[in-house]
Structure 1
Amino acid sequence: MTENMIITVMKDAVSTGLMICAPALLVSVVVGLIISIFQATTQIQEQTLTFLPKLLAIVLVGFMTGSWMLHMMTGFMNRVFDMISNITS
Structure 2
Amino acid sequence: MQPEVFVDIFRHALSQVVILVSAAIMPSLIVGLIVSIFQAATSINEQTLSFLPRLIVTLLVLMLFGHWFTRMLMDLFINMVNMIPQVVN
- Paired AA for residue 41 in structure 1: A
Structure 1 runs of 4+ aligned residues shifted over 2 Å read: 85-89
- For residue 69 of structure 2, what is the aligned residue in structure 1? 69
- Counterpart in 2 of 1:55? 55
Q: Deviations over 1:30-85 (max 9, x none)?
A: 00000001100110112222111101000000011000000000000001000114
Identity across the alignment (%): 35
Q: Which runs of 5+ in 2 are unaligned?
A: none
Q: What 5-or-longer segments of structure 1 have no aligned partner?
A: none
- Count residues in correspondence: 89
CA contact (8 A) 2:24 2:61 kept: yes
Alignment RMSD: 1.3
**Partner SS for 2:83:** helix
Distance 2:85 2:60 in 1: 38
Higher normalized contact order (CA 8 Å, seq sep 6+, divided by chain length)? 2
